[in-house]
C-alpha cells in the first residue's frame, strides 16, 4: 500500500513542479497549447517574450492569457492562432502573425465561437487573413489592438474585426489598416464602436449589414475604398466621426442603403468624392455635420423620404447637394451654405430668400456623368445663373427656407 | 485606298461592338444594386443587355431585386451569368447552373445561394455540409 502511494506521489511530482516552478509562466521553447490544457479554469497564464511557432491553439475554459513584452505567435501560414470556444477568456499583449489564407474558410488570428465575455486587449496583428473573427458571441470587448494586413490581390484579404450574430460588443481604441473591411458587422445588435482609426482598407472602413441599434462615435475613417457603409439596418447612432479622403470613382464617406430611424450628428466629412450617398433611407436626422471640400456633399436618391437636414455647414464642395428625381420628400432647413448669395435685411442671422442647394449642372451630371468635362466652363456658369432665375430642371421644392448667414460653430459644440 | 481604309476603320470598329460579357474586376467593380464593391470571387453575377450594357452584381438576390425594380424585360437580356462557386471568377450561364442553398456559404448579401456549373460539383460541396440543391427556376421562387 505504502509503495503504491509513493509511486502515485512520484507521478504527481512532475505535475506539481510544472505548475509551481513555472508559476503559470510559459517560456520560449515550451508549448502554449500544453500550458492551456493543463491550466485549471480561471487560471492566468503568463507567456514570456520570444517566438512561438504554434497554430490552432484551442481554449475551451475560462482563462486569462497575458503576453509579457509581446511574445510572437507565428502560425507560419497554416490555419488559425487562437480558437476560443468557451466563456470568459482574456487574450492580452501578444503579437500574432502569419495566419493561413483560404477561399473557403474564414481563417483568423483569434477566432471566437460562442465565446461570451471574451476580452481581446493590447494585441498586435500582422499579416493575418482575418484578424479577429467572432460569431455568436455576446459582450465581447476588443480594445487597443493594432491590426495590419497586406496582400497582392484584394480577395486575399479578410476583415480586420469581423462580428457575426453578436450582441453588446464594445470595440474601442483600435487601429485597423490594410484589410478588406476594417470593421465588419453582420447581424450584430446593441454594440458600440468608439475612438477607432480605420485607415487604408480595401473596401470599407466600417461596414454594417443587417445590424440594428448600434452606435459609433469619435472614429476616424481615412483613405478607405469607402469610409462607412450602413446597409439594411435601423436605429443607428453615428456621432462625431471623421470621414476623410475617401476618394475614388465609387467612393463615399458614408454610404447609406436601406437604413431608417437613425441619427447622423456632429460628423466631419472632408475631402471625399461623395460625403454621404443615400438610397432608400428614411426617418433619419442629419444635424451639426460639416461637409467640406467634397466632390458632392450629399447625394440623395429619390428613394429616400422623411429625412431632415438642419444646422449643417456646407463649405467648398463642388456640389453641395444632388438628387435624381423631382419629387422631394425630405426636409432641408436652417443649414449654412457657403454658396448662398442672399441677404439678411432684418439682421436675424437668417437669409431672407430661400436657397436652392441643387445646382442645375448637378442634375445634368446625374444623367450624363461624362458631362463633368465641361464643368467650370463659361456656358455652364451662365446656364446655372439662368436656372436660378427660372428653375426648369432642378427640383423646385428642394430648398432651404431659413439658410443661416454664418457657419455654425460645430467645433465648440462637439467639445 | 489606304485613305479609305483609315476613314472606314473607326466605323468598322463601332460595328464590331457586340453585347459580350465582361469579366468582373474584384475589388474594383461595384454591385449595381447594393453599391458594395464586389470582393468575394466565389459569388457574383452579370447581366448583359441586347444593347450591350453590362450590369454587375455581388450576389444573386441583388440581381433579383434589380430585375424587379428596373424596367428591364426578359427579352432585353442577352446574357445572364453567375460566378461558378467551384471555379472562382469564372462566369457561367445562370439558367443552366445548379444552385446550392446553405447557411455555411455566407455570400456578401446573405442570400445563402451559390452557383455551380455541374450538378456533381454542387453535390460534392454538399457532401461535407448541409444544404439544398435546386435549379434556376426553383432558386428564383425561393428569392421571391
* Least confident span in A161-170, A282-291, A384-393, B83-92: A384-393
Q: Check whether residue A351 and residue A378 sit in a common domain.
A: no
Question: What is the residue-wise DSSP string for B27-49?
Answer: TT-B-TTT-PBP--TT--EEEEE
How many other C-beta atoms lie within 10 A of the C-beta of residue A382? Answer: 10
Domain shared by A352 and A247, yes or no: yes
Residues of chain A with C-beta less than 8 angstroms from the C-beta of B26: 153-155
Q: Give the structural domain span for B121.
A: 20-143
Touching check for A225 and chain B: CB below 8 Å?
A: yes
- Number of domains chain B contains: 1
Q: Is residue A349 part of a domain?
A: yes
Q: Give CA A340 to chain center in angstroms.
A: 34
Instruction: Judge if A284 and A347 occupy the same domain.
Output: yes
Nearest to B101 by CA among B91, B119, B115, B89: B115
How far is the C-alpha of A291 from the C-alpha of A314, rounded, in Å? Answer: 5
Q: What is the pLDDT of residue B4?
A: 65
Q: For residue range A160-214, what is the model confidence (pLDDT) as tens digits?
A: 999 999 999 999 999 999 999 999 999 999 999 999 999 999 889 999 999 999 9
- Cα gap A297→A314, rounded to integer Å: 7
Which of chain A's residues have a Cβ under 8 Å away from the Cβ of B88?
Answer: 103, 155
Question: Is A250 in contact with B26 (Cβ distance < 8 A)?
Answer: no
In a domain, B9, yes or no: no
pTM (global) more than 0.90: no
Bridge partners (DSSP) listed for residue B44: none
Contact, A183 vs A176, CB < 8 A? Answer: yes
Mapping DSSP onto H, E and C, the string for A192-247 reads EEECCEEECCCCEEEEEECCCCCEEECCEEECCCEEEEEEEEECCEEECCEEECCC
Residue of A216, A411, A223 whose CA lies nearest to A313: A411
Q: What is the mean pLDDT of residues B24-50?
A: 90
What is the arithmetic mean of pLDDT over A64-76?
95
Task: Convert the pLDDT of each residue in B58-84 to its tens digit.
Answer: 999 999 999 988 888 888 999 999 999
Q: A403 and A278 in one domain? A: yes
Residues on chain A touching B35 (C-beta within 8 angstroms): 229, 250, 255, 257, 277, 279
Burial label, A264 (beta-carbon count in 10 A; 0-12, 13-18, 19+): buried
Q: Do A244 and A373 sit in the same domain of this protein?
A: no
> What are A214's three cell numbers?
448600434
Whether the CB of B41 is below 8 Å from some CB of chain A: the reply is yes
Residues A374 and A306 in one domain: no
Query: Does A348 reside within a domain?
Result: yes
Give the tens place of pLDDT for each residue, A333-363: 999 999 999 999 999 999 999 999 998 888 8
A388 inside domain: yes
Please compute the mean of the pLDDT values over residues A34-40 and round it to a whole number.
Answer: 93
Query: Cα distance from B41 to chain A (closest Cα, Å)?
Result: 7
| DSSP of A3-20 | HHHHHHHHHHHHHHHHHH
- Separation of alpha carbons A230 and A311, rounded Å: 23
**How many domains is chain A built from?**
2
- Residue at B2 is within a domain: no
> Are residues A390 and A415 located together in one domain of the fold?
no
Asked if the model's pLDDT at residue A411 lies above 80, the reply is: no
Q: Is residue B4 part of a domain?
A: no
A262 and A377 inside one domain: no
Asked whether residue A298 falls in the same domain as residue A369, the answer is no
A379 shares its domain with A247: no
Amino acid at each position: 500500500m505504502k509503495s503504491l502511494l509513493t509511486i502515485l506521489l512520484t507521478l504527481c511530482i512532475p505535475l506539481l513542479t510544472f505548475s509551481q516552478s513555472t508559476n503559470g509562466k510559459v517560456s520560449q521553447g515550451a508549448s502554449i497549447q500544453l500550458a492551456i490544457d493543463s491550466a485549471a479554469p480561471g487560471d492566468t497564464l503568463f507567456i514570456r517574450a520570444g517566438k512561438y511557432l504554434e497554430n490552432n491553439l484551442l481554449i475551451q475554459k475560462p482563462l486569462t492569457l497575458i503576453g509579457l513584452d509581446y511574445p510572437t505567435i507565428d502560425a507560419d501560414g497554416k490555419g488559425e492562432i487562437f480558437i476560443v470556444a468557451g466563456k470568459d477568456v482574456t487574450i492580452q499583449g501578444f503579437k500574432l502573425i502569419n495566419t493561413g489564407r483560404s477561399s473557403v474558410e474564414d481563417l483568423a488570428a483569434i477566432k471566437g465561437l460562442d465565446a461570451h465575455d471574451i476580452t481581446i486587449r493590447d494585441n498586435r496583428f500582422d499579416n493575418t487573413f482575418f484578424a479577429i473573427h467572432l460569431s455568436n458571441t455576446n459582450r465581447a470587448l476588443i480594445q487597443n489592438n493594432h491590426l495590419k494586413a497586406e496582400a497582392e490581390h484584394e480577395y486575399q484579404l479578410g476583415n480586420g474585426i469581423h462580428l457575426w450574430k453578436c450582441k453588446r460588443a464594445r470595440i474601442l481604441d483600435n487601429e485597423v489598416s490594410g484589410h478588406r473591411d476594417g470593421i465588419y458587422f453582420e447581424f450584430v445588435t446593441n454594440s458600440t464602436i468608439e475612438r477607432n482609426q480605420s485607415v487604408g482598407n480595401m473596401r470599407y472602413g466600417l461596414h454594417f449589414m443587417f445590424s440594428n441599434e448600434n452606435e459609433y462615435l469619435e472614429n476616424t475613417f481615412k483613405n478607405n475604398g469607402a469610409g462607412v457603409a450602413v446597409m439594411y439596418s435601423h436605429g443607428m447612432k453615428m456621432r462625431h466621426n471623421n470621414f476623410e479622403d475617401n476618394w475614388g470613382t465609387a467612393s463615399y464617406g458614408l454610404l447609406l442603403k436601406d437604413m431608417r430611424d437613425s441619427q447622423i450628428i456632429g460628423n466631419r466629412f472632408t475631402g471625399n468624392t461623395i460625403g454621404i450617398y443615400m438610397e432608400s433611407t428614411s426617418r433619419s436626422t442629419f444635424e451639426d455635420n460639416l461637409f467640406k471640400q467634397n466632390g458632392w456633399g450629399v447625394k440623395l436618391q429619390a428613394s429616400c423620404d422623411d429625412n431632415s437636414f438642419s444646422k449643417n455647414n456646407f463649405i467648398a464642395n463642388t456640389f453641395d447637394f444632388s438628387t435624381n428625381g423631382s419629387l422631394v420628400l425630405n426636409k432641408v432647413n436652417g443649414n449654412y451654405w457657403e454658396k448662398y448669395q442672399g441677404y439678411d435685411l432684418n439682421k436675424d442671422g437668417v437669409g431672407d430668400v430661400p436657397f436652392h442647394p441643387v445646382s442645375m449642372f448637378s442634375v445634368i451630371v446625374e444623367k450624363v456623368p461624362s458631362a463633368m468635362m465641361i464643368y467650370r466652363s463659361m456656358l455652364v456658369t451662365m446656364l446655372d445663373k439662368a436656372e436660378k432665375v427660372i428653375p426648369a430642371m432642378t427640383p423646385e421644392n428642394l430648398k432651404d427656407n431659413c439658410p443661416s448667414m454664418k457657419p455654425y460653430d460645430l467645433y465648440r459644440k462637439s467639445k | 485606298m489606304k485613305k479609305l481604309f483609315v476613314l472606314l476603320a473607326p466605323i468598322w470598329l463601332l460595328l464590331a461592338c457586340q453585347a459580350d460579357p465582361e469579366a468582373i474586376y474584384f475589388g474594383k467593380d461595384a454591385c449595381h444594386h447594393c453599391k458594395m464593391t464586389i470582393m468575394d470571387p466565389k459569388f457574383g453575377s452579370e447581366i448583359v443587355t441586347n444593347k450591350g450594357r453590362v450590369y454587375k452584381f455581388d450576389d444573386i438576390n441583388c440581381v433579383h431585386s434589380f430585375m424587379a425594380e428596373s424596367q428591364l424585360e426578359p427579352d432585353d437580356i442577352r446574357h445572364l451569368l453567375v460566378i461558378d462557386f467551384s471555379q472562382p471568377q469564372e462566369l457561367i450561364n445562370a439558367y443552366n447552373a445548379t444552385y446550392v442553398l446553405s447557411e455555411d456559404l455566407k455570400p456578401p448579401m446573405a442570400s445563402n445561394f451559390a452557383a455551380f456549373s455541374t450538378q456533381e460539383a454542387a453535390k460534392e460541396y454538399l457532401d461535407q455540409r448541409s444544404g439544398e440543391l435546386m435549379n434556376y427556376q426553383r432558386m428564383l421562387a425561393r428569392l421571391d
